[in-house]
Structure 1
Amino acid sequence: MNPLEKFKDWYNEETQKSTVRIPSACCLSSIGIDGFPNARMVSLKEVREEKFVVTGPMNSKKGKELLANPKASLIFWWTDTERQIRVQGEAFQIEDELADHYFKDRNKESQIVSAISNQGAEIDDITELMTLFKQRKAECTNTEIERPKDWSGFYIVPKRIEFMEFNKNRFHYRELFTRNNNKWYKVMLQP
């Protein structure tokens, strides 16, 4: 079985059962510029042509880290189906046309925040940024907001995908798929 098909099946099942507001939430980990691992929650946009897609500013910490060292992992933890999926792979920046598409899909307020904010940068007083946000919101009522040039996304091309189904007795069912020469190989793992 192709693990990406299995991922889609599990993802669809979770989104149908899920009671959480953002069932696409996952933990994205990168290797920090300082050599330490760095993790944050992001929203999976889709699985496209066997690649996981996440978006955000390229000048953010995650953007800089993935551009400098394009190795990433994603972890999905789904409480409603009691499943976990771990993905490891290489990160490649998405095309501008695709970034435009995802940016247009964001609500207007999220677009404004992306346009005025330097994600993760230090700030002395958030009041000025809040004032700028309100001003831009009032100005952009009937206009389209252009995608900032530093806002894009990454494909995570999986090398390894591990599926784990939790059991109350801790005898968890685990499968690890590894890609080698464009072919997937599966092994079972002990709980």
Structure 2
Amino acid sequence: MKNTENPIAIFSKWFNEECELTKVKIPSAVCLSTMGIDNFPNARFVSFKEIVDNSFIVTGPLDSRKGIEINNNNNVAITFWWAETERQIRVQGIATTINSKLADRYFEERNINAKAVSSICEQGKELDNAALLEKNIEDKVVEGKRIDRPSNWGGFSIKPIRIEFMEFKETRFHHRKLYEFHNGIWSMKQLQP
């Protein structure tokens, strides 16, 4: 069934409602799922930044496991779970790398420790000497010098093709709506709990 409601607007409303109520430290945490190069799915929590051009933005090293997997197969999923409002949002979409200007902006917003870690660490690689790596990061922070965005650090814009909203109910008759994007138009169907 065609629907004039924009699921991106619904997402924004729900996200703002959760942020007003939540007590969790990182309300923007979202589970990003990719298809592994070994054909096993991989899921991990990343930080959702914002919606840009009706796409969901997440950031991180482009040469990490998630970056390699997205480069190999850019069909991804992100899943939000919000405890205060008891809502879940599932998004399936196509990931593309964000431009360097946007990546610079997100990197600049990071705190000094996050910048130091991103500039020194090779995310997901085997660790030989944790104490030495931690000292190198601490030294970089203590230097207090400007830390520029490493060339391997960026982000992904996830253009949704499906967005499912679920509101949990004590009766277990959860309210579920699935929006799908076809030929430039969102359509909606209600799903059984």
TM-score (norm. length: structure 2): 0.97
* Amino acid corresponding to residue 81 of structure 1 in structure 2: T
Instruction: Give the aligned partner of residue 13 of structure 1.
Output: 17
Equivalent position to 1:99, from 98, 103, 111: 103
Identity across the alignment (%): 49
1:105-132 Cα deviation digits (max 9, x unpaired): 0001100000000001001220110111
Instruction: Give the aligned partner of residue 149 of structure 2.
Output: 147
2:170 is the counterpart of 1:164: no
1:68 deviates by 1.0
Instruction: Give the aligned partner of residue 137 of structure 1.
Output: 141
* Amino acid corresponding to residue 157 of structure 2 in structure 1: Y
- 2-side partners of 1:133 and 1:12: how far apart? 34
More deviation, 29-38/125-134: 125-134
1:5 deviates by 0.2
> Which consecutive residues of structure 2, in runs of 5 or more, have no partner in the other structure?
none
1:138 deviates by 1.7
2:93 is the counterpart of 1:85: no
RMSD: 0.6
- 2-side partners of 1:131 and 1:19: how far apart? 32
* Amino acid corresponding to residue 91 of structure 1 in structure 2: A
- 2-side partners of 1:168 and 1:137: how far apart? 48
1:158 deviates by 0.1
Instruction: Give the aligned partner of residue 8 of structure 2.
Output: 4
1:61 deviates by 0.3
- 2-side partners of 1:72 and 1:26: how far apart? 13
1:76 deviates by 0.3
Equivalent position to 1:175, from 173, 177, 186: 177
1:135 deviates by 1.4
> Which consecutive residues of structure 1, in runs of 5 or more, have no partner in the other structure?
none
Q: How many pairs align?
A: 189
- 3-state SS in 1 of match to 2:103: helix
* Amino acid corresponding to residue 184 of structure 1 in structure 2: W
* Amino acid corresponding to residue 182 of structure 2 in structure 1: N
- 3-state SS in 2 of match to 1:111: helix
- 2-side partners of 1:80 and 1:8: how far apart? 16
* Amino acid corresponding to residue 181 of structure 2 in structure 1: R
- 2-side partners of 1:182 and 1:8: how far apart? 20
- 1-side partners of 2:184 and 2:123: how far apart? 36
Instruction: Give the aligned partner of residue 126 of structure 2.
Output: 122
1:1-23 Cα deviation digits (max 9, x unpaired): 00000000000000001110111
- 2-side partners of 1:137 and 1:81: how far apart? 38
- 2-side partners of 1:52 and 1:76: how far apart? 12
- 2-side partners of 1:82 and 1:118: how far apart? 36
Instruction: Give the aligned partner of residue 50 of structure 2.
Output: 46
* Amino acid corresponding to residue 99 of structure 2 in structure 1: E
- 1-side partners of 2:94 and 2:25: how far apart? 28
